[in-house]
Structure 1
Amino acid sequence: DPGDLAWNKLSSLNPLSFSSLPALIKLDLTSNRLSYLPVSGLHGLTHLKLAGNEDLQELLPAESLPKLRVMELPYAFQCCAFVSCEKHSSPWDRDNNNNGKDDFGRREGILSNQEDHEDFLLDFDDEPKSHHTVQCSPSPGPFRPCHHLFGSWLIRVGVWVIATLSLVCNTLVMVSIFLSPSFLSPVKLLIGLLALVNSLMGLWSATLATVDALTFGSFGRYGARWESSTGCKLTGFVSIFASETSIFLLTVAALERGLSVRRGKAAEGKTSTGTLRLVAALCFLLGLAITLLPLLGDYGVSSICLPMPYEEPSSLGFMVALVLVNSLCYLIMTVTYARLYCSLEKGEPDSLWDCSMIRHVAWLLFTNCLLYFPVAFLSFSSLLKLPSVGPEVVKSVLLVVVPLPACLNPLLYVLFNPHFREDLGLLHRRTRGALHLSRPRRLSLVSLNSEDAEKQSCDSTQALVTFGVSEEEEESRGAGQQPSAEAHHPPVAFIPCR
């Protein structure tokens, strides 16, 4: 068969390779290394197989392949040029031959019923004016859209708001905790690390929002390059790492609060910060290990840069294990805080610090656990293939609900925790004091370089007089006399000189 060139390790083709074969109707170039397909002479082609050519990321010109009816392409975005005329209503719609099946079922249907499709298409050759149905695999869908990365303006605005609030509020929390001169307690260290991890999740949302804005209305043209790019892989890696590490850090924070209340007020001083830092480092390493596992398995990548497992036992086992581990962490946090509040009923907390930080970690636990329920439900629903859960719902949850804790966690600390205002006030006073200390030094250097020696002498004499008057004031206060109004001089100018 002159059209069967599969598995030949072809890396390039001559632009006129098929120009002398106008009668060619079937062409199989599966699993080669092509980055370009010459279309000269392929105007009569009806069947085309290009699956496995990962370097072939360019869109095929539909006008040069008018009779093409059955296609297997490397990327779903390349099908947009051939099926867009059948999908005007929404980028979420599936093509007319889907019959309720998902992308994998559609692909299997094409492969299993290939002979029926060929006979069907040959019958249409006798009626060139009839409407031909285009069968393309893998077909576009919510996770591989043709026009917009985000399917609606509601999701688009929500992602922008979450990304902005997450980056701004987490930065404020990290500044108030790590740069403030106040004591860095173990729980504050965990909250600061949680803000660092949450900012990474905000960075993921901001990256996707930027890509959606740059490719607005024509995402299918750049989708293949975006999915296979290093930036997309790194973005997905950061997202999974941030999501898992935040759960582990929150678990450690709940356990630390429970132990501190159980051991009493002395626990705040006796708790080793070094030990807690070691535990936090283990949380980061565990999150990194879990994030690396999908890279070693048979996983695909979607347009939102999250791994999409194929229907294989190893991939399904990883997803089930991940959901169970996260559920176990939330169960540990819930049990810990239930016992903590039971112990608090027997007596008041030892200090205001315990009260505020215990309440804050409780709010974190409540919001994160509440937002994790739909994620866990959709995960099990997708594994069980429940028909009520469509890919549109799953994508909306991944874009809005999953990064929402990264936005709410710092907001709870900024708006309701008194330690944030105290730490920010201390940082402001220290910064303002440093500016006041540096300003007289700069003025003194300028005055030393001045040629007005007499004015310097006058100022020195005035300073001595002022100090003398100040001493007289102290003596008069010691004798119970009120200082006169003429003896008052602002001491600010002389404090930096001491």
Structure 2
Amino acid sequence: MNAPKLEYIAVEDFSRMPRLKSLYITQAPMLEKVDPLPTMLELRTVIITSSGLTEVPNLSRVHPVKNDSIPYLQAVDLDGNQIKRIPAHALRIRADQVSLNYNLIEEIPAFSFKYAQISKLGLKGNVKLSRLDDNAFAGNLLLRQLDLSFTSITSLPTAGLEKLQSLKIENTPSLKYIPSIYDLRHLESADLTHSFHCCAFAFPERHDPARHKLYEMQVDLMTQACKSEQMQARKRRSLEAIRPISLESRSRGTTGTDEDWSLSSSAEEFGSTVQAEPSLEFLYPDSVEGLEEDSFHDLVDQDVTKGIVAMCGNFTDTRPQVVCRPMPNALNPCEDVMGWSWLRASVWVVITAAVVGNIAVLVVLLANHAEITVPRFLMCHLAFSDLCTGIYLLMLAVVDLRSYGVFFNYAYNWQYGVGCKIAGFLSVFSGQLSVFTLTIVTLERWFAITYAIYLERRISLAAAAKIMFAGWVFSIFMAGLPLVGVSDYSSTSICLPVESKDAGDGIYQGSLFLTTMVAWLIIVVCYVQIYRSLGGGGEKYGGRGSAAAAERRIANKMALLIGTDLLCWAPVAFFGVTALMGWPLVDVSHGKVLLVFFYPLNACANPFLYAILTKQYRRDFITLIARTGKCNWLVQKYKLAATPPPTAHTNPSTPAAMLPLVDYESHTRAIKTNGEAGV
């Protein structure tokens, strides 16, 4: 201990220590290599920790592997060194535990543990370990426990892990795919990183359909074999007295019938185990004699009687039930992105309305760029933000279709890939920009209607551009925070930053709800003022009640627009705030209903209420068609329908003018001018 100058160990001296049972070296930073150890039959523990070892010492000659009468090593502990490689055959040993935790291992080559008998293997904390050869653990005869936590592996090979009972791969977010339970038939417990990997053990028929079908075929064959055995047994009982067969004679294969041998052979052929006394020859109980007080680790449970237990007359399927952690939870349940079939169908209706509607509005508004006013300018931004919401839902719907029924097999690539980050960014960005734009639209209406006489109080196009630039910067900033570690888009399949791990996440999520609340208060106050300013009707406008009625109709339309947005925001904000306060009322499965029916409500309604269902939009749309020179019949039909009846002040031969999309500013100015003229 504390040997800063120790550089070399004369291992040949150990051959003169036949009763040496423990070799313990720690905190020897200059010790980079230990020569192959000689044969030491009494050695039980080899512990070299927190030193400078760069490779695993060769321990293959300590105990001759073929000599079963020699007790095995209790522990080989090489934690906290600088080990980068495992030489071939260095660990051809029999040991209860081999610990290589917290080293610098980058790769486990093929057959690194060939002919070894290691019960528990620890590779925890090798953060550079990224590659495991397909045969990395092949040839290890007894591996029962494996720890690969805090590594960078992307896959787990199954060769050599057939009898594994305990698997730990915690805090290893790089692991994409977990093997099938049919490759790990004796697995009892698994501590993993992602909850969706536990879904693979819970639903093996969806995780690996081919292997599950083969398993069912095996069960069917076993069932038929047992039925055949039962029928033969009945025939024998009808001819002669039942002669009991002892378990001992059955295990030695000396019992009587061809059917018994056929059943046993079938079980072994299909990787199953007929109930029998388990072989315990590898326990070597004398190896722990006298070491109980200094036991480094508890011995591993060696009961390997797992699989399909066949008892003719009482056939049972005992496929292992794996205790897996972290269990699927409210954020990541074992279900598809959309969860329910009706939700899967409904989302496409919402997507169609949001994407097609907002694209139609943008095309018409941008085509008439020569007549851009402040309301048009703001509606362009609103349509774009709502279009982003539709694209977000489209990305979720496409992933749902591609991974239908087996999403947990695709969960890693989706949630930790670029796609989910883009979807989450679009969701938060569109939500914040939409809220911001609607607030500015409401303020602009409030100025235009309440202070129609004072033209200097209007919002100019240049001022509106500066305001919306600030809105874009704010929205991009809020949507970008989860990309730099404040909350996370990968916490759930719908790519929303809903998981709160620390105070920073809670503050971020609370700020999103606070922004919506402030916007709601501003909108409500502004519309109360608008209604108050129009409340006088004829008195306020010098007896011209029609002017006030026109203004009121405009305010009612805007109130309808804002009402849809409040209906969109309120449920999401309510359930979000309750979740932040520690009282979640809905899980993600039911929260997806909010996602489809409430969250995108404004994205669907705004393009229709603002433009598509108005006469002004139809006129602008016909103007756009007229510019193309096509569908002239439609243009002429619209002109005839829009031509007013002849009067003393109109020329019946002149078609109706193509009015632009509703210009609230000029419309309000005309109403107020008429009102003043009336006075």
After TM superposition, is the score higher than 0.5? yes
Matched, 1:308 2:426: no
Structure 2 counterpart of 1:364: 561
CA distance in 2, matches of 1:379, 1:28: 38
Tell whether 2:167 aligns with 1:48: yes
Q: Quote the Cα distance in structure 2 between the aligned partners of 1:124 and 1:329.
A: 64
Structure-1 residue corresponding to 2:133: 14
Query: Partners of 1:433 and 1:208 in 2: how far apart?
Result: 37
| Alignment-derived partner of residue 588 in structure 2 | 391
Q: 1:48 to 1:299 in 2, by over 3 A?
A: farther
The letter of the residue matching 2:406 is S
Shift of 1:58: 2.1
Q: Where do residues 205-244 of structure 1 align in structure 2 (5 Å cutoff)?
A: 205-244=393-432
Partner of 1:262: 450
Question: Are the structure 2 counterparts of residues 327 and 387 from structure 1 closer, same or farther at C-alpha, using a change threshold of 3 Å?
Answer: closer
**Counterpart of 1:153?**
341
- Match for 1:380: what amino acid? V
Are residue 317 (structure 1) and residue 512 (structure 2) matched? no
Deviations 1:198-218 (A, max 9, x none): 001101111111111122222
Scaled by the length of structure 1, what TM-score is found? 0.74
Q: Measure the CA separation in 2 of the matches of 1:360 and 1:297.
A: 41
Secondary structure of 1:27 counterpart: strand
Residue 297 of structure 1 pairs with residue 485 of structure 2: yes
More helix by share: 1
Structure 1, 189-198 or 424-433: larger mean CA deviation: 424-433
1: distance between equivalents of 2:534 and 2:486? 49
Q: Distance in 2 between matches of 1:174 and 1:269?
A: 28
Moved more, 233-242 or 144-153: 144-153
Partner in structure 2 of residue 452 of structure 1: none
The answer on whether the counterparts of 2:129 and 2:151 sit within 8 Å (CA) in structure 1 is yes
Does residue 171 (structure 1) correspond to residue 359 (structure 2)? The answer is: yes
Q: Name the aligned partner's letter for residue 227 of structure 1.
A: Q
2:651 matched to which residue of 1? Answer: none
Matches of 2:414 and 2:160 in 1, distance apart? 31
Does residue 140 of the first structure (1) align with residue 346 of the second (2)? no
Confirm or deny: 8 A CA contact 2:361 2:383 kept in the other structure: yes
Pairing 1:400–2:518 present: no
Contact kept in structure 1, 2:362 and 2:384, CA below 8 Å = yes
Residue 14 of structure 1 deviates from its aligned partner by 3.2
Q: Which amino acid aligns with 1:4?
A: G
CA distance in 1, matches of 2:530, 2:166: 67
Q: Deviations over 1:244-279 (max 9, x none)?
A: 110000000000100111221564995411111111
Could you say which residue in structure 1 is the equivalent of 2:197? 78
Flag structure 1 segments of 5+ consecutive residues without an equivalent: 89-117, 437-498
Cα distance change on mapping 1:22 and 1:425 into 2, 3 Å: same
CA–CA distance in 1 between the matches of 2:301 and 2:526? 68
Amino acid at match of 1:334: V
Cα deviation, residue 295, structure 1: 2.3
Question: Which stretch shifts more, 326-335 or 5-14?
Answer: 5-14
Contact 2:168–2:192, Cα closer than 8 Å, also in 1: yes
Query: CA separation in 1, counterparts of 2:477 and 2:600?
Result: 21
Aligned residues: 406
Give the 3 Å change call, closer, same or farther, for CA 84–174 of structure 1 in structure 2.
same
Which secondary structure does the structure 2 equivalent of 1:176 belong to? helix
* 1:168 Cα deviation after fit: 0.7
Q: Is the 8 A contact 2:186 2:304 kept in 1?
A: no
In structure 1, distance between residues paired with 2:619 and 2:456:
19
Shift of 1:62: 1.6
Per-residue deviation, 1:375: 0.6
TM (normalized to structure 2)? 0.55
Give the Cα–Cα distance (whole angstroms) in 1 for the partners of residues 553 and 624 of structure 2: 20
Secondary structure in 1 matching 2:389? helix
Counterpart secondary structure, 1:320: helix
Deviation for aligned residue 1:341: 0.7
1:86 shift after superposition: 11
> Which of 244, 252, 270 lines up with 2:440 in the alignment?
252
2:494 counterpart letter in structure 1: I
Corresponding residue of 2:249: none
Aligned to 1:432: 629
Q: Displacement, 1:147?
A: 5.2
User: Are the equivalent residues in 2 in contact too, given 1:180–1:426 (CA < 8 A)?
Assistant: no
Shift of 1:238: 0.9
For 1:307, give the aligned amino acid: P
Question: What SS does the aligned partner of 2:524 have?
Answer: helix
Corresponding residue of 1:490? none
Which among 151, 156, 178 is matched to residue 37 of structure 1? 156
CA apart distance, 1:433? 8.8
> 2:337–2:407: 8 Å Cα contact kept in structure 1?
yes
Deviation of 1:127 (Å): 7.9
In 2: Cα distance, 1:62 partner to 1:432 partner:
66
Residue among 368, 371, 378 paired with 1:190: 378
Whether the aligned pair in 2 keeps the contact of 1:169 and 1:414 (CA below 8 Å) is no
Q: Quick check: 1:26 aligned with 2:145?
A: yes
Q: Does 1:67 align with 2:255?
A: no
| Partners of 1:219 and 1:389 in 2: CA distance | 21
Instruction: Tell me if the contact between 1:124 and 1:132 (Cα under 8 Å) persists in the aligned partners.
Output: no
**Match runs of 1:104-143 below 5 Å:** 132-141=320-329, 143=331
Quote the Cα distance in structure 2 between the aligned partners of 1:336 and 1:14: 66
Contact 1:35–1:56 at 8 Å: present in 2 too? yes
Q: Is the 8 A contact 1:182 1:423 kept in 2?
A: no
Equivalent-residue separation in structure 1 for 2:630 and 2:143 (angstroms): 82
Question: Structure 2 CA distance, aligned partners of 1:317 and 1:224?
Answer: 27
SS at match of 2:176: coil
Task: State the 1:339 CA deviation.
Answer: 0.8
> Could you tell me how far 1:126 is from its partner in structure 2?
7.2
**SS of equivalent residue, structure 1 residue 136:** strand
Partner SS state of residue 71, structure 1:
strand
Cα deviation code 1:306-338 (max 9, x no counterpart)? 223233111112212221121111111111111
CA distance in 1, matches of 2:377, 2:455: 15
Relative distance call for 1:364 and 1:44 in structure 2 (3 A) is same
Among 366, 373, 380, the alignment partner of 2:577 is: 380
Q: Relative to 1, partners in 2 of residues 1:150 and 1:181: Cα closer, same or farther, differing over 3 Å?
A: closer
Q: Deviations over 1:158-179 (max 9, x none)?
A: 2111111111111111122221
Q: 1:6 to 1:433 in 2, by over 3 A?
A: closer
> Aligned partner of 1:13: which letter?
L
Q: Distance in 2 between matches of 1:193 and 1:298?
A: 27
Partners of 1:16 and 1:213 in 2: CA distance: 35
- Change beyond 3 A, Cα 1:145–1:231: same
Per-residue deviation, 1:428: 2.7
Q: How far 1:402 sits from its partner (Å)? A: 1.1
Per-residue Cα deviation, 1:396-439 (whole angstroms, up to 9, x for no partner): 21243212211111121245433212322332333339999xxx
Alignment match, 2:235: none
Contact 2:130 2:152 in 1 (8 A): yes
CA contact (8 A) 2:534 2:551 kept: no
- Inter-partner Cα distance in structure 1 for 2:305 and 2:555: 77
SS in 2 for 1:308: coil
Instruction: Indicate the SS of the match to 1:407.
Output: helix
Give 1:388 shift: 4.0
